[in-house]
A = this chain, B = another copy of it.
Amino acid sequence: MRYSYVSHLLCPTCNKEYSTAHQQQLCACGSPLLVQYDLETLKHKLSPQDLIGREGSLWRYHELLPVECSEHVVSLGEGMTPLLSMPRLGEDMEISHLYMKDEGVIPTGTFKARGAAVGVSKAKELGVKELAMPTNGNAGAAWSLYAARAGIKATIVMPTDAPSITRKECVAADANLLLVNGLISDAGKIVGKAVKDGKLFDASTLKEPYRIEGKKTMGFEIAEQLHWKLPDVILYPTGGGVGLIGIYKALRELQELGWVTGKLPRLVAVQAEGCAPIVKAWEEGKAVSAFWESSSTIAFGINVPKALGDFLVLEALYATNGCAVAVKDDEILAELRTVASLEGTFVCPEGAAVFVAARQLRKDGWIGPDETVIALNTGAGIKYPNTIMADVPILQPDDEIDAVHHAK
């Protein structure tokens, strides 16, 4: 039994194939590459029952991941995050089967750990010694830490507005961190120039083909946690869009393996009104998005004015009869508190955005009252202290609190 059934890299734009035995970035045509597996062979060798009792991490799906030798796996125990039922919030928005996939319960506190675990592992397998990437913060933090564990040197460029805790993570991991007075697209340009001489591996989103394989495991887990019965709707906060592309890829692989049947869930890309290029493109029925000028949102992880994989995101939305929704920043902040006070989960603003969208789509009738709906919370609220103001009374040691427990 092989550890991985990876076969090759395929360009979704021009169909050119590449080997997975060498470091590879984009296709010669400029498109991102997608990893292919020998699913025809694997379907006769592996079944869902074989997964029972395997380790509670994303590596339980190692046959469907690109790392060929288990000793190259760089893991901090990531994956198999909780799929929580949200009955009180669901009642509040009249969705009777509402679930949250909580990607805050993962090393580094965001779903970026999945991409980093698989991306860094494959980079290690391919002999990468040094990598560079632009980031909105969390991916850079995750890649810094996984690279440290792998003994790979990381150079990270992030906007000055990125969540400040992510700087600390990069510095703790001893990465080479640089800030840019601009957006992730500006950070991308700086990295683009630095990697030109080929000495640095470019680990930018979708310019390396393997992080998507880590992120797709969210799709595997949702299916497994629902006992291989697919939900009706999956909502995802969409910046670079790799999570959504990954989930779509995973679900199609599961279909090919025969592990799931029936219609795929309708995928929903959630963006902020201040940065909604995918929403605009979807509304106009376009195949690609246009650069969003002067983008701005408190949900910083989805402040991505133009995603390299936009065409793959849009394809996933069209293919599943999904949609794209933009939400307001003030609604995000209000929803974040509603979610915490009703369900005890302190989500990140991107996660809160998804609940705003679910509420909106239910109100519009796009989501039916008895549909099974999965909201992706992509990170822990504790990485975003600024979403909550805490103006709290201060007591002295001898003070008492009264019957309603306020300071006397």
Q: Is residue A127 within 8 Å, beta carbon to beta carbon, of the partner chain?
A: no
B contact residues around A157 at 8 Å (CB): 395, 401
Enumerate A369-394 residues with CB–CB distance to B below 8 Å.
380-383, 385, 387-390, 392-394
Beyond A169-B382, A346-B145, A385-B164, is A174–B397 a contact (Cβ under 8 Å)? no
Beyond A343-B148, A400-B190, is A109–B181 a contact (Cβ under 8 Å)? no
| Cα-based distance from A200 to B178 in the complex (angstroms) | 51
Q: Is residue A368 within 8 Å, beta carbon to beta carbon, of the partner chain?
A: no
Tell me whether A149 and B401 are in contact (CB under 8 A): no
Tell me whether A81 and B77 are in contact (CB under 8 A): yes
| Cα-based distance from A173 to B390 in the complex (angstroms) | 12
Q: How far is the CB of A153 from chain B (nearest CB, A)?
A: 9
Q: Is residue A336 within 8 Å, beta carbon to beta carbon, of the partner chain?
A: yes
Q: Mark A214-235, 1 if CB is under 8 A from B, else 0.
A: 0000000000000000000000
Tell me whether B105 and A401 are in contact (CB under 8 A): no
Tell me whether A190 and B341 are in contact (CB under 8 A): no
| Cα-based distance from A160 to B170 in the complex (angstroms) | 28
Q: How far is the CB of A180 from chain B (nearest CB, A)?
A: 5
Tell me whether B392 and A179 are in contact (CB under 8 A): yes
B contact residues around A84 at 8 Å (CB): 75-77
Tell me whether A178 and B107 are in contact (CB under 8 A): no
Beyond A107-B104, A109-B109, A382-B109, is A395–B181 a contact (Cβ under 8 Å)? yes
Tell me whether A53 and B56 are in contact (CB under 8 A): no
Give me the 7 closest cross-chain CB pairs, A-B, nearest first. Answer: A77-B82, A149-B344, A172-B340, A56-B56, A186-B397, A174-B341, A168-B388
Contact surface of A with B, Cβ cutoff 8 Å: 52-53, 56-57, 74-77, 80-84, 88, 102, 104-109, 132, 145-151, 155, 157, 160, 164-165, 167-174, 176-182, 186, 189-190, 193-194, 197, 199-200, 336-337, 340-346, 380-383, 385, 387-390, 392-397, 399-401, 403, 405-407
Given contacts A82-B107, A178-B392, A179-B394, 11 further A-B contacts (CB under 8 A): A76-B82, A102-B107, A109-B380, A155-B405, A160-B394, A164-B390, A165-B385, A169-B381, A177-B392, A181-B396, A382-B383
Q: List 9 A-B contacts (CB under 8 A).
A: A57-B82, A77-B102, A105-B107, A107-B345, A109-B380, A148-B342, A168-B388, A169-B381, A189-B397
